């Protein structure tokens, strides 16, 4: 009988680690998350139940180490040919159980991309930060602090606005950066993360790429304060809050790549973020397929299983069609991240545009489909016992982040149509 493993994946370019990563994460998710995820949903403020589950995945099973180079005790994914496809598999398997857990886990890699990935490994910072992640059995998180009160989309709109709207300011005083600013929304804020990657400007209002700075700040540095977690519609395992930086001092060498290169490689964060988002979507949809399958076999209409009715079968087929396509483009995005020799640099405008196109297609289709699935299930779709309503709440949120749909559209149109003003 077909199941989730029968959806298409481009097997000819999967990571050699694919099977083992898949098995590790699936067995963790089935034991630690699927039976409890409804309780996790209520645990958004404290993370009393969520935290031990993360400890097992990230600390005990060691998955928080994967990106770091082997020389500092990592698994070397950041310089392997399987950065994209290896990450995709982990994120998708986690998202099948809980897309918010996949986000919180995926974001651990986000700022680390700046220092762990070839060809811009910053070995000094890898040596400095790797022990935090490697010498412990507890989950250790990072956060990527970009969004500010005046707008997140403009900050990510790198090629048009060149960082000119960033207000968080870093000034070099002797051998220290002094940082002042206010960030909103970073995944793993509200006290979860131990280390922040902070998007700053060294000259407010400037569009000069050399003034864009990506600086690491340990969360316990004097002058850092965080708010309480926001109460969102879903995504309970992902805590988000305000972060304030008030005369925060860190060593000058905590800047990730240096003038010009911080700007350049930050766009790799965008491409990989879009790719990861597709994995969160396809993972959640795989689980909706499982739930839907069971429901349409058990539930009858005029004496026949629901799935044996023409109209219902049409909805089921369209769902599968869209999941097939989302998965194929998700793995294609991952492959494009793995093979810059074939597809171009991960930080190129082309990769930013193409991965954003894939991402907003996937998110839009998922939101559309989960609505149709709920129509099909009727009142049962809203029943928390079945968990479809959880995916419905979570998937809507996926559509909104990283500048939302509008920024994706602007960046795609800009690259493919050579637009000059958006």
Residues that bind ligand FAD in the complex, under the rule CB under 6 A = 107, 144-147, 151-154, 185-187, 235, 238, 240, 397, 400-404, 406-407
CA angle 333, 94, 99 (to 5 degrees): 80
Q: How far is the CB of 273 from ligand FAD (least distance, A)?
A: 8
Cβ 269 to ligand FAD shortest distance, Å: 10
Which residue number, 33 or 270, has a Cβ lying nearer to ligand FAD?
270
Please say which residue, 4 or 224, places its beta carbon nearer to ligand FAD.
224
Q: Please, are residues 192 and 235 in contact by the beta-carbon 8 Å criterion?
A: no
* Closest distance to ligand FAD from the beta carbon of 161 (Å): 9
State the first-to-last Cα distance of the chain, in angstroms, to the nearest integer. Answer: 49
CB 343, min distance to ligand FAD, A = 25
Closer residue to ligand FAD in complex, CB, 18/268: 268
Map residue 361 onto helix, strand or coil. helix
In angstroms, what is the minimal distance from the CB of 154 to ligand FAD? 6
Residue 120, token pair as written in the block = 């811009």
CB of 410 to ligand FAD, least distance (A): 6
Phi, psi of 44 (to 5 degrees): -60, -25
Q: Which is nearer to ligand FAD, 194 or 338 (CB)?
A: 194
Kindly state the smallest distance separating residue 328's Cβ from ligand FAD, in Å: 26
The DSSP code sequence of 76-105 is -GGGSTTHHHHHHHHHHHHHHH-HHHHHHH
Closest CA to 399 of 234, 239, 271, 157: 234
| Helix-helix angle 261-298:310-338, to 10 degrees | 160
At residue 140, φ and ψ (nearest 5 deg) are -125, 130
- Nearer CB in complex with ligand FAD: 190/337: 190
Task: Determine the residue with CB nearest ligand FAD.
Answer: 152
Q: Judged by CB, which is closer to ligand FAD: 166, or 288? A: 166
DSSP string, 150-178: T-SHHHH-HHHHTTTT---EEEEETTEEE
Token pair 């960033």: residue: 166
Q: 392, exposed or middle or buried, with CB in 10 Å at 0-12, 13-18, 19+?
A: buried
Backbone dihedral angles phi then psi of residue 302, each to the nearest 5 degrees: 50, 45
Tokens 């490994």, residue? 121
Give least dist CB 303 to ligand FAD, A.
Answer: 44
Are 227 and 242 a contacting pair, CB within 8 Å?
A: yes
Structure tokens at 24: 């590790």
Minimum CB distance to ligand FAD smaller for 155 or for 373: 155
Q: Nearest distance from residue 43's CB to ligand FAD, in Å? A: 16
Both tokens assigned to 136:
């412990």
Q: Rg of the chain's alpha carbons, rounded to an integer?
A: 21
3-state secondary structure of 18: helix
Within a 10 A sphere around the Cβ of 247, how many other Cβ atoms?
A: 10
Asked if residues 411 and 356 have their Cβ atoms less than 8 Å apart, the reply is yes
The least CB distance from residue 165 to ligand FAD, in Å, is 9
C-beta closer to ligand FAD: residue 173 or 418 = 418
Residues 202 and 172: beta-carbon distance below 8 Å: yes
Contact present, 114 and 266 (Cβ < 8 Å): yes
Give whichever of 171 and 400 is closer to ligand FAD, judged by the CB atom. 400
**Smallest gap, in angstroms, from Cβ of residue 41 to ligand FAD?**
14
Name the residue nearer to ligand FAD (CB basis): 318 or 364. Answer: 364
Nearer to ligand FAD by Cβ, of 187 and 274: the residue is: 187
């Amino acid at each position: 009988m077909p199941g989730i493993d029968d959806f298409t994946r481009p097997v000819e370019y999967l990571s050699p680690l694919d099977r083992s990563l898949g098995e590790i994460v699936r067995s963790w998710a089935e034991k630690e998350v699927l039976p409890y995820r409804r309780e996790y949903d209520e645990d958004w403020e404290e993370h009393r139940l969520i935290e031990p589950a993360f400890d097992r995945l990230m600390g005990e099973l060691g998955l928080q180490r994967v990106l770091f180079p082997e020389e500092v005790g990592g698994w070397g994914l950041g310089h392997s040919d399987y950065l994209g496809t290896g990450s995709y598999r982990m994120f998708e398997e986690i998202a099948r159980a809980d897309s918010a857990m996949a986000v919180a886990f995926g974001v651990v890699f986000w700022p680390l991309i700046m220092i762990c990935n070839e060809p811009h490994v910053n070995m000094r910072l890898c040596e400095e930060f790797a022990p935090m992640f490697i010498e412990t059995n507890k989950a250790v998180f990072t956060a990527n602090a970009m969004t500010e009160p005046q707008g997140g989309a403009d900050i990510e709109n790198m090629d048009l606005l060149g960082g000119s709207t960033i207000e968080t300011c870093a000034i070099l005083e002797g051998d220290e950066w002094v940082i002042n600013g206010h960030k909103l929304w970073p995944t793993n804020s509200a006290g979860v993360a131990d280390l922040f990657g902070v998007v700053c400007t060294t000259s407010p209002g400037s569009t000069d790429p050399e003034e864009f700075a990506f600086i690491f700040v340990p969360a316990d540095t004097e002058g850092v304060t965080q708010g309480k977690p926001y109460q969102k519609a879903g995504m309970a395992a992902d805590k988000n809050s305000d972060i304030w930086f008030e005369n925060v001092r860190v060593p000058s060498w905590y800047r990730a790549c240096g003038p010009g290169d911080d700007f350049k490689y930050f766009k790799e964060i965008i491409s990989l973020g879009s790719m990861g988002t597709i994995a969160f979507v396809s993972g959640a949809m795989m689980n909706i397929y499982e739930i839907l399958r069971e429901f349409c076999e058990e539930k009858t209409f005029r004496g026949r299983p629901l799935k044996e009715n023409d109209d219902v079968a049409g909805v089921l087929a369209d769902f599968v069609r869209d999941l097939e396509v989302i998965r194929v483009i998700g793995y294609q995005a991952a492959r494009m991240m793995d093979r810059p020799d074939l597809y171009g640099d991960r930080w190129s405008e082309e990769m930013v545009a193409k991965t954003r196109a894939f991402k907003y297609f996937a998110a839009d289709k998922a939101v559309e489909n989960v609505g149709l699935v709920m129509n099909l299930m009727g009142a049962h779709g809203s029943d928390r016992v079945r968990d479809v309503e959880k995916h419905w709440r979570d998937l809507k949120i996926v559509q909104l982040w990283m500048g939302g749909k509008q920024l994706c559209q602007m960046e795609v149109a800009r690259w493919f149509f050579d637009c000059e003003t958006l």
